[in-house]
Amino acid sequence: MFDTLLEKQDKIIFRLFQYLQKKNPCSLKEAATQLHLSLESLKRYINIWQQNGSNFSTGISFYIKDQTITAIYSHESGQLFLTALLNRSFSFQLLVKIIENPFYTLRDLEKEFYLSRATMQRRIQKMKPLLRNYSLTVSFIYDPPLKGNEIQIRYFILLVSLLYDPPFLWSEQTLYDRYEEIQQYRISQGFAFIKAEQASNMMYYPVPFQLNDAGLRFLWQQFSGLETIWLKSSVTDALEFSLHAHTELSELSLIALAQKFHRLHSLCDFFSGSLLLAYNPFCSITGTKRLVQSFTKLLPNYQQLLAKHPELPVLYEKLLQNSSYSENSKWTIAED
């Protein structure tokens, strides 16, 4: 995922931050073990981070006392930490430049970044595994360098855009507007859909309309939550039964949550590549284990969907946490 583009120092600090989000504070020895580093190496990386003044702008710092480390940060800084680190990663900057200028040559990039061809090619090799995860590739033998299915390219660019320039406030409309900007930009660059396509091999949501630029706009209205995704009653009933059996949310919250699960499954069915922007080896998914088992038994083709997107249980955790938080907030307001 996108954290693979981080520089080595930043990647280690980001992994440390991820673990401290799970357990903050914790012993230095425990953190070093979790990161597969020696205690001396971890201390060295932390000291380098603390002494580099350019890191202050990230809003993330670490405090060490009595062999215990504590991460100090605001909620907003934590949310934007990956973005802050990526925006100073040369590999990520290179990726953004290729997206912004879809017909740039290797020589154009060399002039832009003042780097040798050998260095440029090493950086391009570094981004190839990420692109491969999204069924894309990059090659400067033929134009354009970024190659793959246009629908998939727009999805990938959307993820890059949300990392490069996160919206101040997240909403269904914000997500759709961002996609619309990307689609219009791609059309202006000569990547419009001349001929409509029929979506094929859909396991969860058989898209009932042809896909051209207009069709994609409506599809993204569905994916973003501005329009409802209509599925077979057997699918909706099975999902709602599973949520009712394996969560403790109110009936009203479950109705809204079910539609979010449908959107997530439909999005994962339609696109290749992880919806998780960063790999988190410390994330617990035990809370959704029974939910996954229920989906496996009741939802058609769910095992194939899970094989295509193994990050789904982590995304379920996030959806359930957000729903529980919203429900608790409503109760707090009502009591006040």
Nearest to 17 by CA among 196, 280, 258: 280
- 28: nearest Cα among 8, 42, 47: 42
Phi, psi (5° rounding) for residue 177? -60, -40
Calpha distance 20→13 (Å, rounded): 10
CA 62 to CA 40: how far, in whole Å?
16
267-295 residue pLDDT tens: 999 999 999 999 888 887 888 999 999 99
- Give the pLDDT score at 294: 97
Q: Which long-range contacts (CB under 8 A, 24 or more apart) does 58-65 make?
A: 58/84, 58/85, 59/84, 60/13, 60/17, 62/16, 64/28
Using DSSP, state whether 84 is helix, strand or coil: helix
Residue 182's pLDDT is: 98
Which residue positions in the chain have pLDDT lower than 50? 329-336
What does 238-292 look like in DSSP terms, one character per residue? HHHHHHHHH----HHHHHHHHHHHHHHHHHHHH--S-S-SS--TT---GGGHHHH
Query: Which residues face 147 on adjacent strands?
Result: 137
| Stated pTM of the model | 0.93
Residue 109 burial (C-beta neighbours within 10 Å; 0-12, 13-18, 19+): buried
Residue 323: what pLDDT?
82
Any residues with CB less than 8 A from the CB of 36 and at least 6 apart, and which?
none
